[in-house]
């Protein structure tokens, strides 16, 4: 039985934005958990392309990213009889429910979202579109439309799952029980992987400095180079101490996430190693673990026809559930 997951078959949903190549932060914080949970419940894994246009992105790039992300989901084995992989914009009910939910979220509540505040600051007045503001409400629709019990996400999305709960509660108490209350499931190790070049900042696919961002699709020599250059500190000891040794702690977290060893066991393994040896070992392990995923992904992404067929099937499967919830909601609000 999985830690934190109750006995009965639950509905599990998560999504990833196709805003760029995915990083090992996405892998350790979210995707690894998707794979772990896939056979534990009724799953929905979504390519969140609607969310992606809240910041400027070239159409051709978005389309390619969506295909690549879909390939990655398939490469990870996320598709199955009870596990649906689909693209968000292919299931129009998400947007339709989001409109209703917009009317159940306070202005101030949306304004308090940390990610909105960070992005609004980063993109300036020109980039502060209403979509960016309403982002968590669309995310609430993604979650609530499948009567989701469990949402596996990295630490940065926890606040968004919480607002989905607030909205669900508000709707349920105004009408009658309609939405299931979702719970975030956050991995213990790897919920917040940091950049290798700036271990105080998140490793993100949209970081400006990509030298510290390891992509799932990066080639071995690129990965090894990024680890070799990872920022450490002026000491020599491989020890976990997030405050004083953020670089080494991040590398230990990555090693632990990929090896399955605890941080303590990883510390023990490298207690006599130099930083150089340690970084090489982390790089080697990451390459070894990513290799089969990369190979599988290439096989899928080179077959566009197969991908398109699978996308269509996935959307049809997802729509069956989404439509039911949406019509219930429409009836309740008086449409």
Residue ranges that bind ligand TYM, judged by CB under 6 A: 13-17, 25-26, 28-30, 48, 51, 139, 142-143, 151, 153-154, 156-157, 160, 190-193, 202-204
Query: At closest approach, how far in Å is the CB of 156 from ligand TYM?
Result: 5
Question: Quick check: is 205 catalytic?
Answer: yes
Determine the Cα–Cα distance for residues 167 and 174; give it in Å rounded to an integer: 11
Closest CB to ligand TYM among residues 35, 276: 35
Query: At closest approach, how far in Å is the CB of 281 from ligand TYM?
Result: 21
**Which residue, among 249, 213, 222, has the nearest Cα to 233 in the 3D structure?**
249
Query: At closest approach, how far in Å is the CB of 150 from ligand TYM?
Result: 10
Residues whose CB is less than 8 angstroms from the CB of residue 309 and which lie 6 or more positions away in sequence, other chains included: none
Determine the Cα–Cα distance for residues 114 and 68; give it in Å rounded to an integer: 28
Closest CB to ligand TYM among residues 63, 309: 63
Determine the Cα–Cα distance for residues 225 and 227; give it in Å rounded to an integer: 5
Q: What's 197-248 look like in SS3?
A: CCCCCECCCCCCCHHHCCECCCCHHHHHHHHHCCCCCCCCCCCCECCCEHHH
Give yes or no for a contact between 185 and 178, defined as CB atoms under 8 angstroms apart: no
Token pair listed for 38: 């896939």
Of the residues 121, 174, 291, 304, only one is catalytic, namely 121
What residue has token string 């989905």? 164
Residue whose CB is nearest to ligand TYM in the complex, by number: 29
DSSP state of 156: G
Query: At closest approach, how far in Å is the CB of 213 from ligand TYM?
Result: 9
**Which residue, among 46, 43, 47, has the nearest Cα to 80 in the 3D structure?**
43
Closest CB to ligand TYM among residues 191, 329: 191
Question: Quick check: is 324 catalytic?
Answer: no
Of the residues 38, 202, 226, 279, only one is catalytic, namely 202
DSSP calls for 73-133: HHHTT--BTTEEEEEGGG-THHHHHHHHHHTTS-HHHHHT-HHHHHHHHHHHHHH--HHHH
Query: At closest approach, how far in Å is the CB of 292 from ligand TYM?
Result: 20
Query: At closest approach, how far in Å is the CB of 182 from ligand TYM?
Result: 8
Of the residues 17, 205, 245, 279, only one is catalytic, namely 205
Rg of the chain on CA atoms, in Å: 20
Closest CB to ligand TYM among residues 164, 307: 164
Closest CB to ligand TYM among residues 203, 282: 203
Closest CB to ligand TYM among residues 160, 310: 160
Question: Quick check: is 245 catalytic?
Answer: no
Which residues are identified as catalytic? 121, 202, 205
């Amino acid at each position: 039985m999985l830690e934190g997951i109750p006995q009965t078959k639950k509905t599990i949903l998560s999504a990833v934005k196709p805003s760029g190549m995915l990083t090992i932060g996405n892998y350790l914080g979210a995707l690894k958990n998707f794979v772990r949970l896939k056979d534990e419940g009724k799953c929905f894994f979504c390519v969140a392309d609607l969310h992606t246009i809240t910041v400027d992105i070239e159409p051709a790039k978005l389309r390619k990213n969506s295909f690549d992300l879909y390939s990655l989901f398939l490469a990870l084995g996320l598709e199955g009889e009870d596990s649906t992989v689909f693209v968000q914009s292919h299931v129009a009910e998400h947007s339709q429910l989001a409109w209703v939910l917009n009317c159940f979220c306070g202005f101030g509540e949306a304004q308090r979202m940390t990610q909105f505040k960070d992005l609004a600051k980063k993109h300036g007045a020109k980039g502060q579109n209403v979509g960016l503001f309403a982002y968590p409400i669309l995310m609430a629709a993604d979650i609530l439309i499948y009567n989701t019990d469990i949402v596996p996400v990295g630490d940065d999305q926890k606040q968004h799952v919480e607002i989905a709960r607030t909205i669900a509660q508000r709707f349920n108490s105004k009408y009658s029980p309609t939405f299931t209350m979702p719970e975030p499931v956050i991995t213990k190790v790897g919920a917040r992987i940091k950049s290798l070049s700036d271990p105080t900042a998140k490793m993100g696919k949209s970081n400006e400095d990509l030298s510290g961002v390891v992509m799932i699709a990066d080639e071995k020599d690129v990965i090894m180079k990024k680890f070799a250059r990872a920022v450490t500190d002026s000491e020599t000891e491989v020890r976990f101490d997030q405050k004083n040794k953020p670089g080494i702690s991040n590398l230990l977290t990555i090693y632990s996430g990929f090896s399955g060893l605890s941080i303590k066991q990883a510390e023990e393994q490298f207690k006599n190693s130099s930083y150089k040896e340690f970084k090489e070992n982390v790089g080697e392990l990451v390459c070894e673990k990513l290799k089969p995923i990369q190979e599988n992904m290439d096989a899928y992404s080179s077959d566009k026809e197969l991908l398109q067929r699978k996308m269509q099937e996935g959307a049809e499967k997802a729509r069956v559930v989404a439509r039911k919830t949406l019509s219930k909601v429409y009836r309740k609000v008086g449409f």
